[in-house]
Amino acid sequence: MSERPTNPAGDAGSAGYARGNGWDADFEVYPDFDLPPYVGPSTFANLPWVTDPAELRARKVDVAIVGAPFDDMVTHRSGARFGPRAIREAQYSVGSLNSLQLGVEPFEVLTVVDAGDANIVPAQPTRAHAMIYRKVLEVARTGAIPIVLGGDHSITWPSATAIAEARRPGSIGIVHFDAHADTAPDSWGQLAGHGSPMRRLIESGAVRGRNFVQVGLRGYWPSPVVLGWMKEQGLRCHFMTEIESRGAEAVIADAIAEALDGPDSIYLSLDIDVVDPGLAPGTGTPEPGGMLSREVLRAIRQIVGAVDLAGMDIVEVSPPYDWAESTAMIANRAALEAISALAVKRRDGATIHREG
């Protein structure tokens, strides 16, 4: 049986214990922003948690992280409701980060915060979509660019609609990275499923079909009938077979040119299953034969650097299947690449925060 520790300093007070153990020294206290990411509240990159729209506006926030923890509309593997938290936690670096890819310290150039999550409860999909729409619209109207962490891909319907509303009278286009087109007419009668958000955006009028560019499609869906509808609407698609034959660099260059053909600004939607499941296993609908993570991250830098980014989402990260956390890490880096590309634009004189 071990003995109780004695007070080396010889007095009964706690100060004596501290002195005897060397705990009364004048230690440096670090700001929350510079603490390890596993210490304190879980915010994206240890950024300030700012949910009040008035404060977002007062701070003139350039980019705001928004969580959409919702996965009630999946048709296969659930778990993406835990995606926002996993993406926020999938980071080992802290403080003022330095992008080796772009040569910029984004948080020194931009004002970036974590604006919290939409007010979501389970088993109420219409309410959840309404809360996502309201949260993203609220943030966008402060002049910040929302980067929305999903959640299943159904969240793009309310999120992109909110951006379209905030950017009126201008128009938005969508660059959509995905293994699947997400243009199904319905899923067993459900119109709001995660396989239908792009169709709902087009049919509602929020985004015109000819303002869609899709990259990375592969596998065994959609059907010829759905592909025919997409062609009628003017969607432009780049299949993985094209990336395999021409290379990602050439395909992304074409996608940028197409994205800039018409819309005033761009919404970027990244379904993490565009990445090969060998690299990103934690997703709702894995599809073998996808892009490399480096190709996707480079594409984000290129696109954000070339267009007026109005908003972005990163969806379908399902932590229960992400055994090595690689999927969440890729998603985390996707957000950082977009932020860094925006920082380069600001450094070079572009306006990022929109005065509303």
**160-173 pLDDT, tens digit each:** 999 999 999 999 99
Residue 151 has pLDDT above 80, yes or no: yes
Fold type of domain 33-347: Arginase; Chain A (3.40.800)
CA distances in angstroms from 321 to 15, 67, 70, 212, 326, listed in the order given: 49, 20, 16, 30, 10
The band of 14, judged by pLDDT with boundaries at 50, 70 and 90, is low
Question: Which of 18-32, 134-148, 150-164, 332-346 shows the lowest per-residue confidence on average (mean pLDDT)?
Answer: 18-32
Domain coordinates of the chain in residue numbers? 33-347
Q: What is the mean pLDDT of residues 211-240?
A: 97
Q: Output the CA angle 57-263-224, nearest 5 degrees.
A: 125
Residues 209, 234: contact at Cβ < 8 Å?
yes
Task: Give mean pLDDT, residues 118-122.
Answer: 94
228: which residues sit within 8 A by CB, 6+ positions away? Answer: none
- Is the pLDDT score of 353 beyond 90? yes
Confidence of residue 1 (pLDDT cuts 50, 70, 90): very low
Instruction: Note the pLDDT of residue 13.
Output: 57
- Note the pLDDT of residue 93: 86
* CA 160 to each of CA 56, 180, 193, 269, 328: distance values in angstroms, whole numbers, following the listed order: 20, 18, 15, 9, 22
Q: Which of 6-15, 131-140, 178-187, 249-258 has the lowest mean pLDDT?
A: 6-15
In angstroms and rounded to an integer, the radius of gyration of the C-alpha atoms of the chain is 22
Residue 240, pLDDT > 90, answer yes
What is the pLDDT at residue 356? 63
pLDDT of residue 39: 85
